[in-house]
Amino acid sequence: PENVGIVTMEMIFPSYYVDQTELEVFDGVSAGKYTIGLGQDKMGFCTDREDINSLCLTVVHNLMEKHHLKYSDIGRLEVGTETVIDKSKSVKTVLMQLFEPHGVVDLEGVDSTNACYGGTAALFNALSWVESSAWNGRYALVVTADIAVYAKGSARPTGGAGAVAMLIGPNAPLVIDRGLRAIYMRHAYDFYKPNLSSEYPVVDGKLSIQCYLNALDKCYQSYCKKASKQQGRSICVKDIDYFLFHSPYCKLVQKSLSRLVLNDIVQLSTNKVELEYPDLKKYKDKKLEECYFDKEIEKVFVNYSNDLFEKKTKASLLAANQIGNMYTASLYGSLVSLLVGVNSVEDLLGKRVVLFSYGSGLASSMYSITISSNKEDISKLVKSLKHVQLQLKERRKVSPEKFSSILELREKNCHAAPYEPSGTTEDLFPGTYYLIQVDEMHRRKYQRI
């Protein structure tokens, strides 16, 4: 099959949010820490009515319905998530409830888990399947979803929740470039979830940022090498139209783009640096692994790359800024944000998008998408996602006090059985699945609004 990639997408997020300015006051931190320091405006969260199963049921049902797809059109279903409510039963098998009534049980794939990377692992599995001898001519469906919640403290404002589903097949408007995949994996204890009865991770914040930036450097260098070889000329930041990143908080993304410029300078020949970056040549001999937290370098490069950020990355941060970290769905929420956020469809046609996926622990990749030049196809794709901007505005704001008590309720009951959720269902968006009951055998039942 030719031009394998993302045929269409769907995105959902909670109908409740907490305002980050109000959260700063509530948490007693200095004004601007979350909004300016981290770059976050609002944070989406779920009550006890939603869990990872319900988010995935909603996003899949919405996608199938909107695009008038038949369940028998799907031959593989993959879920990438780190929100585990069962150590054995996959979310994928819960989603079978949607397929079974249509007689569809011939459906490969289960769940992939490694922090925020599981969604990318699921996507790569789906691509491999379509390109393999096991392919049966149907679409693959990849679901990325998470509920990101942190214990009280400095990490809490970097939570979020949401799901993105992607239909994968040939002749796609968003073609995943072949032979251009950079991988970087290591062992690290930067963010992990050893407490199996809690939704909260153990986080070494500073180490997680260092690991993220280290993975970014390595993936970018490897991606550039592969792309340069494929295209027979050297590739740098200026050659790529859009850069999307896994987005724990927006400020880290802005710093990450600027770090790619630093990577370029370190990699380029001295002559080229003098020609193209005369003001930055003194950074040519910097050791990347010695300047993850060098404030002077950070400032110089963020300032230098401000225009690049405006052009190549800013539009992709809508979901990250308004919802927060959606873990596995974060990078794909950035892709949706880019598609709906550019000034016109013309800005997308034929463009190359580089994506950086990072999951703590750690697993990371950089790969790229070439957007089709067919205006009709891209317009259709963009139109089908326009509800995202509207729904972000239709959400209900909840006070930090209420938000905090809802998280406490989740904390107490996330593995309780039997359990009757108490959250109201009135404010959920149409089409949302919600939890009705967990019985004494921990079996969960859902209903759709």
Catalytic residue numbers read 82, 116, 246
Structure tokens at 184: 């970087």
Distances (CA, A) of 370 to 29, 81, 167, 401: 43, 26, 16, 45
The nearer residue to ligand ACO, 25 or 36, going by C-beta atoms, is: 36
Region near ligand ACO per CB under 6 A, out of 48-56, 204-212, 381-389, 438-446: 204-212
Q: How far is the CB of 256 from ligand ACO (least distance, A)?
A: 10
Report whether the peptide linkage leading into residue 201 is cis, meaning its omega lies within 30 degrees of zero.
no
For strand 42-45 and strand 182-185, is the pairing parallel, antiparallel, or unpaired? unpaired
Stretch that binds ligand ACO, among 85-93, 98-106, 205-213, 415-423 (CB under 6 A): 205-213
Q: Using the 8-state DSSP alphabet, how is residue 35 labeled?
A: I
Nearest-10 Cα torsion for 156, 250, 164, 217: -110
Q: How far is the CB of 251 from ligand ACO (least distance, A)?
A: 6
Q: Which is nearer to ligand ACO, 215 or 354 (CB)?
A: 215
Q: In whole angstroms, what is the distance from residue 99 CA to residue 53 CA? A: 15
Residue 400: exposure state from Cβ atoms within 10 A (0-12, 13-18, ≥19): middle
Answer for which of 205, 349, 425, 442 binds ligand ACO (CB under 6 A) is 205
1-40 positions binding ligand ACO, by CB under 6 A = 30-33, 36-38
Does 191 help bind ligand ACO (rule: CB under 6 A)? yes
Minimal CB distance residue for ligand ACO: 37
Residue from 5, 14, 248, 421 in contact with ligand ACO (CB under 6 A): 248
Of residues 1 and 32, the one with the C-beta less far from ligand ACO: 32
Q: How far is the CB of 362 from ligand ACO (least distance, A)?
A: 9
Question: Is 45 one of the binding residues for ligand ACO (CB under 6 A)?
Answer: no
Give whichever of 54 and 114 is closer to ligand ACO, judged by the CB atom.
Answer: 114
For helices 52-66 and 91-99, give the axis angle rounded to 10 degrees.
40
Beta bridge partners of 168: 6, 140
The site for ligand ACO, by CB under 6 A, has a size of 21
**DSSP assignment of 224-249, as one string?**
HHHHHHHHTS---GGG-SEEEE--SS
CB of 411 to ligand ACO, least distance (A): 17
Closer by beta carbon to ligand ACO, 36 or else 134: 36
Q: How far is CA 395 from CA 18, 44, 56, in A?
A: 10, 9, 19
113 makes contact with ligand ACO (CB under 6 A) = no
Strands 111-112 and 74-80: parallel
> For residues 376-415, which are near ligand ACO according to CB under 6 A?
none
Of 18, 79, 116, 182, the residue at the interface with ligand ACO (CB under 6 A) is 116
| Sheet with 16-19, side-by-side order of all strands | 42-45, 16-19, 396-397
- Residues lying near ligand ACO in the complex (CB under 6 A): 30-33, 36-38, 116, 154-155, 158, 191, 203, 205, 208-209, 212, 248, 251-252, 360
